[in-house]
Amino acid sequence: MADAKEKLEAVNGRLMGLFKAEKQTMMAFNSLTVAATRAGKISAALKELTAVAIAVAKGCEDCIIYHAAAAKKHGASRDELIEMLAVSVEMSGGPGAVYAAKALEAFDQLT
């Protein structure tokens, strides 16, 4: 079974393939991502943790890995992630708990 680093590489590879296939749309999407996650009154780390929580609630494993890595890159701690995952589980129930566990596992593997 692939670990989170391998899964992140695969996610990024698929996104790059889509970027090459549809450059204009993906450049616009990348601009949206950069603008939405930039540090402002809310830190980039908190914005990425929020993205993890939304990905957990939506059940998007690739999104979880992508945003967990970004949160870690921006200095989010494991304890901060756990608190955000608790909110995600509250809002999404049992399925959210399953994806929250995957998010925590991925975060721990992305050292």
Give the residue ranges of the chain where pLDDT is below 70. Answer: 1
User: How many structural domains does the chain have?
Assistant: 1
Half-sphere exposure of 43 (CA within 13 A, CB side): 12
pLDDT at position 111: 74
What is the domain range of residue 60?
4-109
Q: pLDDT at position 2, please?
A: 78
Query: Residue 49 sits in a domain of what CATH number?
Result: 1.20.1290.10
- Separation CA 21–CA 15 (nearest Å): 10
Rounded to two decimals, what is the model's pTM? 0.92
CA distance 82 to 14: 28
Alpha-carbon distances, residue 36 vs 54, 89, 90, 97 (angstroms)? 14, 23, 24, 26
Determine the pLDDT at residue 1: 56
